[in-house]
Amino acid sequence: MRELFHPNIDQLCLSTILNALGDPIRLQILKNLASQRETTCSCCNINLPKSALSHHFKVLRESGLINVRIEGKQRFLSIRYGELEKRFPGLLNTVIKNI
């Protein structure tokens, strides 16, 4: 299985993050993830086809907002709080509070 791309902290770009957050579905995914430490893709409670959800997860992952960990056939999602706070202090908390 190929390795999933996750940008390093120094590769995180504010415009890419803001672009990813410009979609209401991705904001809802982020809000759902904010209340959990780590969850599977199926536990995000978004009623969309798997292909559409997969696209949104990819955009969030490649922008640097979430981490995707693969274990067997499961994919576990979590928000990259620590790295985002170091790179853009206060951004994530502000976004999550205002969703």
Q: Are 25 and 48 in contact, with CB atoms under 8 Å apart? A: yes
Q: Please tell me which residue, 22 or 45, carries the higher pLDDT value.
A: 22
Residues constituting the chain = 99
Measured distance CA(28)–CA(4) in Å, rounded: 22
> Among positive and negative, which fits the CA dihedral 1, 49, 7, 34?
negative
User: What is the average pLDDT score of the chain?
Assistant: 92
Measured distance CA(18)–CA(36) in Å, rounded: 22
- Structural domains in the chain plus CATH codes: 9-97 (1.10.10.10)
pLDDT of residue 82: 94
pLDDT tens-place string over residues 36-59: 889 988 777 788 998 999 999 999
pTM, rounded to two decimals? 0.92
Identify the residue whose tokens are 């960990």: 69
